[in-house]
């Protein structure tokens, strides 16, 4: 369970940042029946206009929110096999705070309560009556990558993350747009639906071949909650030295409601 909680913290980022349950090439990600137009940015005459259009495609459905809350069913499997499902209740205020309550469904009790701020992470282990305080860099220790509160919340909300500034190629078909970017840490292949610009997949490979980190995040079962389109299903495969598979089912979610963040620390809890 402890490892699962660490994963929910870093996973909320490392989930997406460490890709590859699939090593299929770009060409195999496209339906063979699609009519395909392939271009590299350097070969396009008006590349600046093209770059603007591509970035617009990526961020067209970006969710801008004040607050967000959700109930998420989490299925988790690692090298030790399938782990018990948990329910994670999340509340967020943009660029300020992330609150999480993790319930062990097999015990029907709250196991952990977590509070993430811009500079700190507080964890209450209710199973063992322990409390711990970590700097925000704890996320980096778990995910082995540069993380912060903003990037973490963008991943939870379903916005694209780690989109490199350098767009190296794109591919258009009747059904999909595939965009390849390179940033400081990752090569990111982003797949977007051609009809409504919704993100379908983000596939990342570490630029540091010695790290050999890969992650594959799939978005699905979008629901319309004006003015947003929200992906209620996420499938993640994370691999470095070991492989982790995670499925997130968003059972309930709300935007821009008044929220509270209860986090009382019992005096009897020992410092871990």
CATH number of the domain encompassing residue 126: 2.50.20.10
pLDDT attached to residue 14: 36
Q: How far apart are CA 178 and CA 256, in angstroms?
A: 32
Any alpha helices (H) in the chain, and if so which ranges? 2-17, 47-59, 138-143, 149-157
Q: What is the CA radius of gyration of the chain?
A: 19
pLDDT attached to residue 85: 85
Q: Identify which of 51, 20, 13 has the alpha carbon closest to the alpha carbon of residue 189.
A: 20
pLDDT attached to residue 16: 32
Q: Is residue 107 part of a domain?
A: yes
pLDDT attached to residue 59: 87
Give the DSSP H or E segment for 66: none
Three-state secondary structure call for residue 55: helix
Q: Identify which of 205, 210, 212 has the alpha carbon closest to the alpha carbon of residue 182.
A: 205
Single pTM value for the model? 0.81
- Cis geometry, peptide bond prior to residue 227 (ω within 30 degrees of 0): yes
pLDDT attached to residue 43: 53
pLDDT attached to residue 213: 78
| 118, HSE (Cβ side, Cα atoms, 13 Å) | 4
pLDDT attached to residue 36: 43
pLDDT attached to residue 106: 74
Residue entry with tokens 């059904």: 175
Please list the ranges in the chain whose pLDDT falls under 50. 1-2, 5-7, 9-38, 45
pLDDT attached to residue 233: 96
Q: Is residue 226 part of a domain?
A: yes
Is there a contact between 198 and 219 (Cβ–Cβ < 8 Å)? yes
DSSP state of 64: P
Three-state secondary structure call for residue 223: strand
Q: How many residues are given for the chain? A: 272
Q: How far apart are CA 158 and CA 231, in angstroms?
A: 7
Split into its structural domains, the chain has a count of: 1
pLDDT attached to residue 258: 96
pLDDT attached to residue 111: 87
Tell the burial category of 260 from Cβ atoms under 10 Å away from its Cβ (0-12, 13-18, 19+): exposed
Domain that holds residue 40: 2-256
Q: Characterize 199-236 residue by residue with b for buried, 16 or more Cβ atoms within 10 angstroms of its Cβ, and e for exposed.
A: bbbbbbbbeeeeeebbbbbbbeebeeeeebbbbbebbb
Q: How far apart are CA 153 and CA 18, in angstroms?
A: 17
Which residues on neighbouring strands pair with residue 5, listed in sequence order? none
Is there a contact between 146 and 138 (Cβ–Cβ < 8 Å)? no
Structure tokens given for 241: 């030295």
Q: Is residue 269 part of a domain?
A: no
- DSSP states of 85-122 as a string? EEEEEEEEETTTEEEEEEEETTTTEEEEEEEEESSEEE
């Amino acid at each position: 369970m402890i490892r699962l909680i660490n994963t929910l913290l870093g996973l909320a980022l490392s989930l997406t940042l460490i890709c590859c349950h699939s090593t299929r090439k770009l060409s195999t990600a496209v339906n063979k029946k699609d009519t395909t137009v392939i271009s590299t940015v350097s070969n396009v005459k008006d590349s600046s206009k093209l770059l603007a259009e591509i970035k617009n495609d990526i961020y067209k459905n970006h969710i801008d929110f004040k607050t967000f809350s959700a109930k998420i069913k989490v299925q988790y499997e690692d090298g030790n096999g399938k782990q018990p499902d948990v329910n994670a209740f999340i509340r967020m205020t943009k660029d300020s705070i992330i609150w999480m309550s993790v319930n062990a469904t097999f015990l029907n009790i709250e196991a952990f309560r977590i509070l993430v701020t811009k500079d700190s992470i507080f964890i209450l282990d209710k199973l063992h009556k322990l409390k711990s305080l970590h700097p925000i860099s704890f996320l980096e220790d778990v995910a082995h990558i540069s993380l912060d509160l903003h990037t973490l919340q963008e991943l939870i909300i379903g916005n694209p993350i780690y989109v490199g500034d350098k767009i190296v190629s794109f591919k258009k078909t009747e059904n999909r747009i595939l965009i390849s970017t390179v940033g400081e840490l990752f090569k990111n292949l982003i797949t977007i639906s051609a009809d409504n610009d919704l993100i379908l997949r983000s596939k990342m490979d570490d630029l540091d071949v010695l790290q050999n980190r890969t992650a594959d995040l799939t978005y699905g079962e979008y629901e319309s909650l004006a003015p947003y389109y929200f992906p209620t299903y996420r499938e993640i495969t994370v691999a470095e030295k070991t492989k982790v598979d995670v499925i997130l089912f968003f059972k309930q979610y709300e935007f821009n409601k008044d929220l509270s963040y209860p986090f009382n620390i019992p005096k009897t809890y020992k410092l871990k």
